């Protein structure tokens, strides 16, 4: 080791009087030894673009980051938004008078939003500084060395032997050591990004950090970035050299507990020989020296170890600042401070001033927000404080359950959200949310206790980089404030009027069973209803599938509506309610042509009844049509065991009677039950001697008319029946017609105003579309060439037409039923069999009028391909070849029909 002498003067740090000038615009300027510092208040630059220029008598130059490092300028900002610009007194554009008096001028140009108008602030500062033989400045973005340029009269000599100034020598070449020697001229170095300045008294060399020609050298376990150069001066007869080297630490900081330790080698070998004397040591912050009292008050310390000078700084000291960061969606913080170490040493007769500004940032530390719950049960308000966050964290949104609201939207909705600042430079956010807000979930732990739950996700960004992170909070509060739901109802002429009051249970948590169906939005749309957050009123027609029929009488039906209310979250049944009502409707009709129709619903009291097993007195007289929940009979007064009798004391009046009974075709396989009976009496009263006029025309057999296929003025129409018995139809003013899930559609195509029994209506094709245009797509085929669509034949069912008081000639009509399953998209394979997409459909048919007796015309009558029934048996359908011209077809359409 070489010999070090640490002079006693280092403990006697001189108290320097600091003078910081402030311009009229509020810009501060301060001389700091061999540099000057300008501070532009954040209030001047907030919200606008800022450009910084260096100014001297001859030019104004925009300082880009590259040019600033080359010319000796440093720009940074602090957490308060202030812009700080430091400049070397020997920077490119500083005005130098004898290397003792310096004038540095800066220009700040602001572009104010939104007008982008310019506002220029120009400020300058005079500084006096007596330079030592060598001055080395280690800034955050450049290294600078300034040496006295006193040249010897001999060819080579060291700087400390220079006795006189010989101004005739000119800078010729510069040697850089990388550490290999390379030769450059001044212009080449300038173009490479270095700066070379020479005057009769001094030589200044400056290098931005991390240049190719710099190199790293480890000195006593501290890495130093070294910029080593030798300048060659010459004239016609002689040559001299001046050595200029800068070495700046790039490591040496460590964190132990809550203390930062920064060590700098005492013996910086690239800069000093073995025997030097340390004269002074100063510590500072942000380029400004601190007095001993200031250091003591802030718990700073400078100590000497065997080979290092060590600066000690407590984390959180007021001269530094904390910064927020995001790592894996979690908030972290770091602490940053920029200490300065200034050494003055003596080597022979020469003195060196060595000043290092060294920003230190601690490793990231998790900083999870704290949650304080001040919920007020009595006021039924969630009250939460989320903190404590740094000033650079901004709250941008909060997610309430599944709904994200920005801060402005939260304020507009009237939710109380406040930001609080604290003296320790942190802040917190206070949020108050009433239990009544829809974002609050309600859980019932037991019937008399309710738990309110609020899921919150706070969304933050960190300024100015606007990186995002979030923090989740779940708040819970329990209250014994249950008001149980209620249900009731009344009977109308043809419907049930049911009401449900939710009480204190949220409507979203209450589920309702109507009969055997769980009520959902799709089913609810089938009925007239009114609902809000407190109650539901629904009108259910007595023929709705959810109604149970208790008994059937000649005067009408006794129907019952069962309602069950339960808590879906806890699976608690709150209420069961039943309402029975009589509905006076005609279930049987007697027609003047001697036919009788009967529609009978399935009774709840006979659960095993299959409507298709009902029969009249004649057991062979089964329903003309039946489904799971009703049967339809059509018979004559002289058939199916119908009896007649004269009414006593009423002349010429007869009563025809029959009855519908049930006898199971197969024995019960379930547990033996008492015998159940189903019996319904049918009566029709006729006046025996009533006279009616009939008009008919006799036509000669020799001139029997013949109906040409597709010719004539006969017209057809397509109608939608309200039920399966084709008694009531929708009229033009009824459209659009609303139909619901699993509800079949009953269509009838009929010939208008024709009495010709030899003409017959034949369906060629029928299909459905989503628009009125019959050529539009998508298209669902219902009937193809007179038969059910081969793609889904079970979805279209043909019904026979029989004569009655409305239908004189059955051949003039065609009836078919369409299962609404058929009207789904081809690509909806993901839907369950029972799902039907809500749509608006139009139905179209191509119709042909044929001659009944013209069976030879294969275009009208041809056997369909054999089709397989669901039970496995086969059936024949009539199928015709598609051989009709467009002129022979009549097109009929109907709609729109709304399917929900």
pLDDT at 630: 77
Please give the angle made by the CA atoms of 825, 826 and 828, to the nearest 5 degrees: 65
Cβ neighbors of 520 (< 8 A, separation 6 or more) are: none
Query: pLDDT digits over 541-571, tens only?
Result: 776 778 888 877 666 788 888 998 887 776 7
pLDDT band of 361, cuts 50, 70, 90:
very high
Sign of CA dihedral 863, 866, 869, 875: positive
Torsion of CA 613, 619, 623, 629, to 10 degrees: -30
Rounded distance between C-alpha atoms, residue 782 and residue 820, angstroms: 11
Cβ neighbors of 857 (< 8 A, separation 6 or more) are: 709, 850, 851
In the structure encoding, which two tokens stand for residue 303, read together? 């100590």
Instruction: Provide the edge-to-edge strand list for the sheet that holds 813-818.
Output: 715-721, 745-752, 813-818, 796-799
Structure-token match 């939005």, residue found: 521
In the structure encoding, which two tokens stand for residue 479, read together? 């209250």
- Residue 477 pairs in a beta bridge with 452
Collapsed DSSP state (helix, strand, coil) of residue 862: coil
Maximum distance among all alpha carbons in the chain? Answer: 163
Please give the angle made by the CA atoms of 885, 886 and 889, to the nearest 5 degrees: 95
Q: How far apart, in Å, do the first and last CA atoms of the chain sit? A: 95
- Residue 487 pairs in a beta bridge with 500
**Cα separations (Å) of 778 from 774, 781, 826, 842, 847?**
10, 10, 9, 11, 21
**What one-character DSSP code corresponds to residue 684?**
E
Total residues belonging to the chain: 900
Element (H, E) at 421: strand 416-421
Please give the angle made by the CA atoms of 628, 632 and 635, to the nearest 5 degrees: 150
CB 131 within 8 A of CB 35: no
Cβ neighbors of 862 (< 8 A, separation 6 or more) are: 786, 878, 879, 880, 881
Q: Is the per-residue pLDDT at 702 higher than 60?
A: no
Rounded distance between C-alpha atoms, residue 893 and residue 198, angstroms: 99
In the structure encoding, which two tokens stand for residue 516, read together? 């055997």
pLDDT at 448: 64
CB 880 within 8 A of CB 861: yes
Mean pLDDT of 252-269: 94
Query: pLDDT digits over 96-133, tens only?
Result: 998 899 999 999 998 877 667 788 899 999 999 999 99
pLDDT at 769: 87
Torsion of CA 839, 842, 846, 849, to 10 degrees: 130
Query: pLDDT digits over 261-316, tens only?
Result: 999 999 999 998 778 889 999 999 999 999 999 999 999 999 999 889 999 999 99
Torsion of CA 208, 211, 215, 216, to 10 degrees: 60
pLDDT at 359: 96
pLDDT band of 624, cuts 50, 70, 90:
confident
Rounded distance between C-alpha atoms, residue 844 and residue 767, angstroms: 5
R_g of the chain, CA atoms, integer Å: 51
Rounded distance between C-alpha atoms, residue 248 and residue 68, angstroms: 18
The closest alpha carbon to 336, from 324, 322, 318, 317, belongs to 322
CB 134 within 8 A of CB 353: yes
pLDDT at 816: 93
List the single range of 146-160, 497-511, 600-614 with lowest mean pLDDT.
146-160
**What one-character DSSP code corresponds to residue 285?**
E
**Cα separations (Å) of 705 from 548, 695, 853?**
54, 19, 11
pLDDT band of 2, cuts 50, 70, 90:
very low
Collapsed DSSP state (helix, strand, coil) of residue 13: coil
Task: Write phi, then psi, for 834 (nearest 5 degrees).
Answer: -90, 0
Rounded distance between C-alpha atoms, residue 796 and residue 790, angstroms: 10
pLDDT band of 94, cuts 50, 70, 90:
very high
**Cα separations (Å) of 213 from 189, 193, 209, 419, 433?**
10, 11, 10, 52, 63
Give the pairing type, strands 588-590 and 625-627: unpaired
pLDDT at 709: 43
Cα–chain-centroid distance for residue 598?
58
Q: Is the per-residue pLDDT at 627 higher than 80?
A: no
Query: pLDDT digits over 367-416, tens only?
Result: 989 999 999 888 889 999 998 999 999 999 999 999 999 999 999 999 99
Between 401 and 162, name the one with better pLDDT. 401
The closest alpha carbon to 602, from 637, 564, 636, 632, belongs to 632
Rounded distance between C-alpha atoms, residue 224 and residue 268, angstroms: 9
Q: Is the per-residue pLDDT at 785 higher than 70?
A: yes
Query: pLDDT digits over 571-582, tens only?
Result: 777 778 888 888
Q: Is the per-residue pLDDT at 697 higher than 80?
A: no
Please provide the average confidence, as pLDDT, over all residues in the chain: 81
What's the number of CA atoms in the CB half-sphere (13 Å) around residue 226? 20
Mean pLDDT of 53-72: 94
Q: Is the per-residue pLDDT at 523 higher than 60?
A: yes
pLDDT at 704: 37
Please give the angle made by the CA atoms of 425, 431 and 436, to the nearest 5 degrees: 175
Rounded distance between C-alpha atoms, residue 506 and residue 744, angstroms: 36
pLDDT band of 22, cuts 50, 70, 90:
low
What is the residue-wise DSSP string for 730-773?
--GGGPSEEE-TT--EEEEEEEES---TTEEEEEEEEEEESSS-
Rounded distance between C-alpha atoms, residue 466 and residue 894, angstroms: 59
pLDDT above 70 coverage of the chain, percent: 80
Torsion of CA 737, 740, 744, 748, to 10 degrees: 0
CB 292 within 8 A of CB 299: no
In the structure encoding, which two tokens stand for residue 55, read together? 């100014």
List the single range of 275-279, 604-608, 816-820 with lowest mean pLDDT.
604-608
- Per DSSP (E only), the strands in 167-270 are 170-177, 181-184, 195-198, 202-208, 215-219, 222-234, 239-249, 253-256, 259-265
Cβ neighbors of 563 (< 8 A, separation 6 or more) are: 487, 489, 498, 500, 512, 513, 514, 575, 576, 577, 578, 579
Query: pLDDT digits over 418-452, tens only?
Result: 999 999 889 999 999 999 899 999 876 666 677 89
Q: Is the per-residue pLDDT at 178 higher than 90?
A: no
Q: Is the per-residue pLDDT at 358 higher than 90?
A: yes
Rounded distance between C-alpha atoms, residue 539 and residue 524, angstroms: 10
The closest alpha carbon to 460, from 512, 560, 408, 389, belongs to 389
Please give the angle made by the CA atoms of 138, 139 and 143, to the nearest 5 degrees: 50
Rounded distance between C-alpha atoms, residue 287 and residue 380, angstroms: 56
pLDDT band of 688, cuts 50, 70, 90:
low
pLDDT at 156: 42
Q: Is the per-residue pLDDT at 700 higher than 50?
A: no
Mean pLDDT of 730-757: 78
Most confident option among 393-397, 486-490, 875-879: 393-397
**What one-character DSSP code corresponds to residue 154?**
S
CB 499 within 8 A of CB 535: yes
pLDDT at 15: 28
């Amino acid at each position: 080791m070489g010999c070090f002498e640490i002079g006693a003067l280092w403990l006697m740090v001189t108290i320097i009087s600091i003078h910081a000038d402030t311009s009229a615009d509020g810009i501060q300027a301060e001389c700091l030894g061999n540099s000057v510092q300008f501070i532009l208040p954040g209030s001047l630059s907030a919200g606008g673009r800022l450009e910084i220029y260096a100014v001297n008598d001859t030019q104004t130059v925009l300082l880009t980051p590259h040019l600033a490092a080359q010319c000796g300028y440093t720009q940074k900002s602090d957490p308060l938004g202030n812009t700080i610009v430091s400049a070397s007194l020997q920077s490119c554009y500083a005005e130098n008078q004898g290397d003792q008096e310096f004038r540095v001028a800066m220009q700040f140009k602001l572009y104010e939003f939104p007008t982008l108008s310019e506002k220029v602030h120009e400020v300058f500062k005079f500084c006096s500084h007596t330079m030592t033989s060598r001055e080395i400045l280690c800034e955050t973005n450049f290294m600078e060395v300034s040496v006295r340029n006193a040249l010897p009269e001999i060819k080579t000599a060291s700087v400390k032997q220079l006795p006189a100034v010989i101004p005739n020598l000119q800078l010729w070449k510069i040697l850089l050591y990388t550490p290999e020697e390379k030769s450059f001229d001044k212009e080449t170095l300038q173009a490479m990004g270095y700066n070379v300045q020479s005057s009769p008294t001094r030589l200044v060399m400056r290098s931005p950090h991390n240049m190719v020609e710099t190199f790293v050298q480890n000195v006593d376990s501290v890495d130093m970035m070294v910029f080593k150069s030798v300048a060659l001066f010459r004239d016609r007869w002689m040559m001299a050299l001046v050595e200029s080297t800068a070495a700046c630490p790039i490591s040496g900081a460590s964190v132990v507990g809550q203390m930062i330790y920064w060590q700098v080698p005492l013996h910086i070998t690239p800069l000093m020989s073995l025997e030097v004397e340390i004269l002074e040591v100063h510590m500072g912050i942000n380029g400004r020296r601190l007095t001993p009292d200031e250091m003591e008050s802030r718990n700073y310390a400078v100590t000497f170890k065997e080979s290092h000078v060590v600066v000690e700084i407590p984390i959180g000291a007021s001269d530094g600042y904390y910064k927020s960061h995001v790592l894996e969606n979690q908030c972290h913080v770091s602490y940053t401070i920029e200490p300065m170490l200034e050494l003055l040493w003596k080597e022979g007769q020469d003195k060196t001033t060595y000043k290092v500004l060294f920003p230190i940032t601690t490793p990231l530390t998790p900083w999870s927000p704290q949650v304080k719950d001040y919920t007020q049960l009595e006021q039924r308000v969630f009250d939460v404080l989320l903190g404590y966050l740094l000033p650079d964290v901004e709250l941008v949104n909060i997610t309430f359950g599944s709904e994200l609201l920005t801060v402005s939207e939260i304020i507009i909705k009237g939710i109380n959200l406040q930001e609080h600042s604290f003296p320790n430079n942190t802040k917190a956010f206070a949020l108050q949310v009433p239990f009544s807000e829809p974002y609050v979930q309600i859980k019932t732990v037991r019937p008399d206790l309710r738990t309110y739950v609020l899921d919150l996700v706070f969304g933050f960004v960190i300024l100015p980089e606007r990186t995002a992170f979030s923090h989740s909070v779940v708040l819970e509060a329990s209250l014994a404030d249950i008001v149980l739901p209620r249900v009731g109802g009344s009977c109308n002429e043809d419907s049930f009027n049911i009401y449900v009051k939710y009480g204190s249970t949220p409507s979203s948590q209450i589920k309702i069973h109507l009969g055997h169906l769980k009520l959902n939005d799709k089913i609810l749309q089938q009925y007239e209803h009114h609902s809000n957050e407190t109650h539901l009123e629904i009108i259910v027609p007595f023929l709705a599938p959810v109604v149970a029929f208790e008994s059937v009488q000649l005067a009408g039906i006794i129907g019952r509506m069962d309602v069950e209310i339960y808590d879906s979250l806890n699976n608690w049944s709150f209420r069961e309610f039943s309402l029975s009502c009589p509905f006076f409707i005609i279930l049987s009709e007697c027609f003047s042509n001697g036919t009788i129709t009967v529609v009978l619903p399935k009774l709840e009291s006979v659960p095993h009844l299959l409507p298709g097993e009902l029969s009249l007195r004649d057991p062979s007289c089964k329903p003309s049509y039946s489904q799971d929940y009703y049967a339809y009979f059509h018979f004559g007064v002289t058939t199916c065991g119908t009896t007649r009798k004269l009414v006593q004391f009423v002349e010429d009046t007869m009563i025809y009677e029959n009855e519908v009974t049930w006898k199971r075709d197969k024995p019960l396989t379930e547990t033996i039950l008492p015998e159940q009976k189903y019996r319904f009496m049918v009566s029709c009263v006729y006046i025996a001697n009533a006279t009616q006029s009939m008009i008919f025309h006799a036509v000669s057999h020799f001139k029997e008319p013949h109906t040409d296929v597709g010719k004539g003025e006969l017209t057809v129409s397509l109608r939608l029946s309200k039920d399966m018995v084709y008694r009531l139809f929708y009229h033009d003013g009824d459209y659009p017609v609303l139909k619901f899930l699993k509800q079949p559609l009953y269509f009838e195509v009929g010939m208008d105003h024709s009495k010709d029994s030899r003409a017959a209506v034949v369906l060629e094709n029928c299909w459905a579309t989503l628009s009125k245009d019959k050529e539009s797509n998508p298209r669902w085929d219902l009937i193809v060439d007179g038969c059910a669509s081969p793609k889904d034949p079970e979805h279209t069912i043909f019904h026979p037409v029989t004569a009655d008081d409305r239908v004189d000639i059955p051949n003039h009509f065609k009836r078919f039923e369409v299962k609404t399953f058929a009207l789904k998209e081809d690509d909806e394979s993901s839907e369950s069999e029972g799902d039907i997409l809500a749509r608006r459909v139009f139905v179209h048919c191509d119709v042909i009028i044929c001659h009944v007796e013209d069976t030879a015309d294969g275009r009208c009558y041809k056997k369909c391909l054999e089709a397989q029934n669901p039970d496995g048996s086969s059936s024949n359908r009539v199928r015709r070849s598609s051989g009709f011209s467009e002129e022979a077809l009549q097109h009929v359409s109907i709609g729109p029909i709304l399917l929900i």
